[in-house]
Copies of this chain bind each other. A is one copy, B any other.
């Protein structure tokens, strides 16, 4: 019942384990092992159900065929779908993925990077939390292959794959403007990361270009660890009875905000889109079946995941090639449903 090792096969055939290793790595020709022996080795390996010990392999070669993935939270469908794509693409190339949820906590991500480093992963795909710049910089210094996704730090030169958040928010806001909305609010979260900031910037620019003055009261930046009640409060301030400058539309910067927001809007007895129009980033199932299906900024998750893996594997395979770093900015698409009226 014990596992079969290279030596077991070698002993069984009366040859050296060197030979067995060569053959099973497809280097039989290269090292001119006779056809006959090659065949026997492969045969016996199958018979004895030989499974190479990747840990031993990894120790010797320095490559583990494993990549480390650090995202905010795998339970969040946004990262769930992204994680799935990454897992799938990695598997295509024979790579395993160790998943880590950092909860946007830089201390956690620091520990996770250390853990992954000890595990000798070949590279990292990271969605870095606020205040993790030093961690990323130390990866750069260590010449460790890695790719950032979803966000990045403008001051650190490194591979990253993100969407054009400015453009996405601009277009979403414009969509609301075109449908006649004038008092457009933005509910976002204080992540302190470029992606969120750019969303609000895009929103502002669209208003500016439409000659609508920006009303800071219509921009609600919630604390990172916001709960339902925080969103409810923001909604009340924007569209509640006592709101002075009632909003007629809301752009939600995340789907978590949007889902909570819709709950609050319903609780206030308001109708979407009649009383209030909404657009949200991300495209969870919830938006397809809710009271009034939600118009969303859809991110190309499949492409982000695939590209991240490909970029990373390219780095891994060419460790000392000229460091032509890649900044990939993908476009989003606006899926128009019923939440903005027509």
A contacts, CB < 8 Å to B:
1, 51-56, 58-59, 64, 66, 73-77, 80-81, 83-84, 87-88, 91, 96-101, 114-115, 117-120, 141-143, 259, 262-263, 266, 284-286, 288-291
Question: In the complex the two chains form, is B77's CB within 8 Å of A83's CB?
Answer: no
Which residues of chain B have C-beta atoms less than 8 A from A87's C-beta? 74, 99-101
B288 and A54 contacting across the interface, CB-CB below 8 Å? no
Q: Could you say which residues of chain B place their CB within 8 Å of the CB of A100?
A: 87, 91
Q: Which residues of chain B are within 8 angstroms of A119 by Cβ–Cβ distance?
A: 54-55, 66, 96
11 A-B residue contacts at CB 8 Å?
Answer: A51-B117, A55-B55, A66-B98, A74-B84, A91-B100, A263-B288, A284-B285, A285-B286, A286-B286, A286-B290, A291-B291
Report the minimum CB–CB distance from A331 to chain B (whole Å): 22
Counting from the closest, the 10 A-B pairs by CB-CB distance are A286-B286, A75-B84, A80-B80, A75-B81, A289-B290, A99-B99, A262-B289, A75-B80, A285-B286, A54-B118
* C-alpha gap A201/B311 in the complex (Å): 49
* B55:A120 contact, CB within 8 angstroms: yes
Chain B residues in 8 Å Cβ range of A52: 118
CB pair B101–A98 under 8 Å, yes or no, is no
Contacts of A88 in B (CB 8 A): 101
* Inter-subunit contact B96/A97 (CB<8 Å): no
Given contact pairs A74-B74, A75-B83, A100-B87, A120 touches B54 in the complex (Cβ within 8 A)? yes
Provided the pairs A88-B101, A96-B119 are in contact, do residues A142 and B55 lie with their beta carbons within 8 angstroms? no
